[in-house]
Structure 1
Amino acid sequence: MDGGETKVKKGTAVVVGGSIAGLSCAHALTGAGWKVMVIEKSRSPPTGTPTGAGIGLDPLSQKIIETWLGESDSLINSTLPLTIDQNQATDCEKRMNSILTRDEHFDFRAVHWSDLHSLLYNSLPDDIFLWGHRFVSFSISHDKNCVNVVTEIDESGEIVEIVGDLLVAADGCLSSIRRKFLPDFKLRYSGYCAWRGVLDFDTITDLKQAYPDLGKCLYFDLGYKTHSVLYELPRKRINWIWYINQPEPDLKGNSVTMKVSNEMIERMHEEAEKFWVPELVRVIKETKDPFLNVIYDCEPIEQLCWDELVVLVGDAAHPTTPHGLRSTNMAINDAAILGKCIEKWGSVNNLKAGLDEYQTTRLPVVSKQVLHSRQLGRVKQGLRGDFDMKMASPDDFRELQQRNMPFFLGST
């Protein structure tokens, strides 16, 4: 190049996982000038019946996504505002709610998982995705200059090898890549599970009598050693979650979602009538195919980057309970900061410096957020002995607000 300049060598990143964490990394790394390949075991992107459930996007995540998309209209059109964070107590006998704390300066937006996934996916090049490729293993070259990733094509069983300069583990809370470095790592069971679902509520005309700020409010209903979450999604849909204390279930397979029977659903419906106002009970009963998540997190790990070529992001890096609305937001922030750090250090020869900065920046943030979310869930589930709902003061109840999350306004 003129002036004796040397050309900066950009790298190739292999991202394992095509969920929102993986797509976010694809956006951030392509924006940093890197070539990206995304490996996903599903044979095609999600279409048709929506999968997943609702997500609350914090202000920083909204700005990051708008930057990736190049405009804001599509995100605004796919979301609803959550300008109020309200915690309320439910009286089981009187079947009524009373407000404990209300924050009217909340600035989140509600989106369905599948809508957010579609936004991120449709704004990426088609040729970076390897659908129907099951991650098998990886190895680092002796000189630590490249990583070799082995996949198996689901349909044919053919083995495919991919060589990259960076391996990004976006393969969820049961990450097999993380297991390579932390073979004794174990998830921590929270003590409760969550029934959840999404309902088209056009037919429920009286819902806003009990929840008048639907469409802009994140509702938390607190009962005796239990709590529920309710908020509206675009296209007249309601997202609900109900947390129930119970012994740890015996999970089968590589998933934290339990297979449920009609008998389990009927029993859940019967229990709902004992705890919640009739309007919420009706939402729960009319939801088709509710599902049951087992809630885990983990003790904060000591590092996010390994062997100078492997980095953990999203739930692979920091499984967290959902009470601080952090899981997806942390993944989006992870990706954005990873992209900025790699872009800042330029050449693939400086990858270690970029990964070191990513780890130094993110590890203190996500560690504190995981632990705060854990404590928030324990309070709302009646599992923390020093918080008595009946004796708590207004100042005590403010502890329930989302804005108490460490780094609530972001870390970038």
Structure 2
Amino acid sequence: MRALIIGGGPAGLATALALRNGGMAATVYERRAAPDPVGTALTLWPNAMSALRLLGVADEVAAVAQPCDGTQIRRWDGVLLSRTPGAELVARYGWPGVTLYRADLIGVLRAALPADAVRWATTLVDHRVGVTDVTADFADGSRESASLLVGADGIRSPVRARLLDRSGDLRPCGYVVFRGIADLSTEGAPGLMVMGRGAQFGAFPLPAGRTYWFASLPDALAAQVPEASLAWLRRYYRAWCDPVPRLIAATPPDWVVRTPISDRAPLRRWHDDRVVLVGDAAHPSAPTLGQGTCQAIEDAVVLGECLRGGGPLPPALARFTSLRRGRVAGVTRQAHWMGVLGRWRNPVACALRDGITTHLPRRLQDLQLDQMFTFRAGRISRPSRR
């Protein structure tokens, strides 16, 4: 059996690795001519690190990432609302949260695959499902056939649009996120979320003395911001608690990316007999929980388990979506409502939100962490990939 995987990001590469570890040939097709040299950063939480362990690359990812010492939530003026120590995360789940460049994660996943497993500058233009195979046509005139087509091609997935006959069901979330890399060390610090009235700010330590940060602003306010304007952000966040102003001040202008946020309401079906979706192509969520890439890696591992050993594809793909649907729907809904709470501007409503965050019983906090950060999908072996 062979799989064609459309999309060379973390979802596609992790899926290729999972399928190959399970004995299926898999080739990734990526429309870009080469991977981004740096790009933005991302967080991987314990559930993702557990999934990467099953793929056999957790240690390699940890080597290019920076752990954070747990998490903290603070009010805009610095008042501590909630904290989870890093040692507690390690004791409960085996890993802390880690932060790394997206390009470094892609580099680790690519290095675990054979050199010919990824084909660059190859854009899918159409696919057709037959009785015994699926055929993909590419913009360069080439054509490939295989047992399975995997859409790992992101939030605006062409594979999804063809599979579900819909492409316009993105749901605007009502806010914009600015992502930046500050040339300033916060090594040893916790992952930080700072909550204001209608705005939020987050920061996570990166390797080599840098820090990944993001600033969330509602659409109405973001409309006043010139494209990726650091000067405007410096003025807006100047009275917020440390290290928020210092991080924005230490960020070069070309290290900031502006992204309007959208998600999709959870779906019940991500597949047909020979086509399946993973990652953002299947279940794009708001970034408020930092779980987008984490859930894509989980998808890869579970799909690999469902397809291990061959057998008929339709029941294997149905089992995959059945196993994953409830979990990712819960994450998507929670991330969406976290974004709604983050946009609250009424002082009374914000005080209520902050009070609930502070006084949430520890038992409920632990339950939330367990639901988010626990991942098990059986044992995946590590056969030779070369």
- TM-score (norm: length of structure 2): 0.86
Tell me if structure 1 keeps the 8 A contact 2:177–2:216. Answer: yes
TM alignment of 1:203-218, pairs within 5 A: 214-218=187-191
**Structure 1: gaps spanning 5 or more residues:** 1-10, 92-96, 153-157, 203-207, 209-213, 251-258
Quote the residue 2:9 is aligned against: 19
Residue type matched to 1:77 in 2? A
More strand, by proportion: 1
Asked if structure 2 preserves the Cα contact closer than 8 Å seen for 1:193 and 1:245, the reply is yes
1:127 matched to 2:116? The reply is: yes
Residues 357-402 of structure 1, C-alpha deviation per residue, up to 9 Å, x if partnerless? Answer: 1011001110111001111222233279995425725324979969
* Counterpart code for 2:6: V
Question: Which residue in 2 is equivalent to 1:323?
Answer: 288
Identity value in percent? 25
TM-score, with normalisation over the residues of structure 1?
0.81
Flag the 1:249–1:385 CA change in 2: closer, same or farther, 3 A.
closer
Matches within 5 A, 1:4-403: 11-47=1-37, 50-53=38-41, 55-69=42-56, 72-91=58-77, 97-104=78-85, 105-106=88-89, 107-141=96-130, 143=131, 145-152=132-139, 158-180=140-162, 181-183=164-166, 185-201=168-184, 214-247=187-220, 261=227, 264-273=229-238, 275-277=239-241, 279-288=243-252, 289=254, 290-306=256-272, 308-343=273-308, 346-347=309-310, 349-382=311-344, 387-389=349-351, 392-393=355-356, 394-396=358-360
Whether the aligned pair in 2 keeps the contact of 1:324 and 1:402 (CA below 8 Å) is no
Name the CA distance, whole Å, in 2 between partners of 1:228 and 1:403. 25
Cα distance between partner residues in 2 of 1:379 and 1:242: 15
Structure 2's unaligned 5+ residue stretches are 90-95, 378-386
Cα displacement string for residues 265-286 of structure 1 (whole angstroms, at most 9, x for unaligned residues): 433332222x523642232133
Deviations 1:59-81 (A, max 9, x none): 232133234346x5423321222
Aligned-partner Cα distance in 2 for 1:272–1:323: 19
Aligned length: 362
Equivalent residue letter for 2:39: T
Displacement after TM superposition at 1:185 (Å): 4.3
Determine helix, strand or coil for the equivalent of 2:312: helix
Please say if residues 201 and 244 of structure 2, whose CA atoms lie closer than 8 Å, have aligned partners that are also in contact: no
* AA in 2 matched with 1:120: L
> Match for 1:84: what amino acid?
G
How big is the alpha-carbon RMSD for the aligned residues of Structure 1 and Structure 2?
Answer: 2.7
State the alpha-carbon separation in 2 of the partners of residues 249 and 190 from structure 1: 13
C-alpha offsets along residues 245-288 of structure 1, whole Å, 9 cap, x if unaligned? 114999xxxxxxxx9747x4433332222x52364223213312
Letter in 1 for 2:147: D
8 Å Cα contact 1:101/1:398 also seen in 2? no
Structure with the bigger percentage of helix: 2
1:84 Cα deviation from its structure 2 partner: 1.4
Higher-Rg structure is 1
In 2: Cα distance, 1:397 partner to 1:191 partner: 30
Shift of the 293–184 alpha-carbon distance from structure 1 to 2, 3 Å rule, reads: closer
Native 8 Å contact 1:149 1:163 kept in 2 = yes
